[in-house]
Amino acid sequence: MAFNVLIVDDSAVMRAMIVRTLKLSGLPIAAIYEASHGEDGLRTLNDEWVDLLLLDVNMPVMNGEEMLRRIRAEERTRDLAVIIVSTEGSETRLAALQAMGAAIVHKPFPPEVLRDTILQVTGVTDVEYYGSAAATGDSFDF
């Protein structure tokens, strides 16, 4: 199964870094969509099938917390796999996001952390896609 991924972050540089990380990760990626804030992200979710959402918290127009609330309120997107990729430091806020079913990856992050978190939230095992390389502990490098 190849993933359709939506990256919602107000920083074009961070979106580009996440795209690069996804491409180098070895994960099966079908399509990557990008949005600069929550409203754009919700429009993309209405127009495209997405398997995984990588979401920043602090953004203009609509922040990630509000976007996540709206996603969880809709039956069609209620069970969407979501990873918060943020510099957010408030433990209270992070706990609230986790209570809504989101995993957390703190910026900056090594590529392996993002890949491993994606595997965890999607339920895909390393061995399914990486075969013996995963079993031997080999990883990708920039």
- Decide: pTM greater than 0.75: yes
Judged by DSSP in three states, 141 sits in coil
List, in order, residues 6 or more apart from 68 with CB less than 8 Å away: 55, 82, 84, 97, 100, 102
State the CATH class of domain 3-110: alpha beta
Residue 123 scores a pLDDT above 90: no
Give tens-digit pLDDT for 18-64.
Answer: 999 888 878 889 999 999 999 999 999 999 999 999 999 999 999 99
pLDDT score for 126? 57
Q: Is 118 exposed, middle or buried (0-12, 13-18, 19+ CB in 10 A)?
A: buried
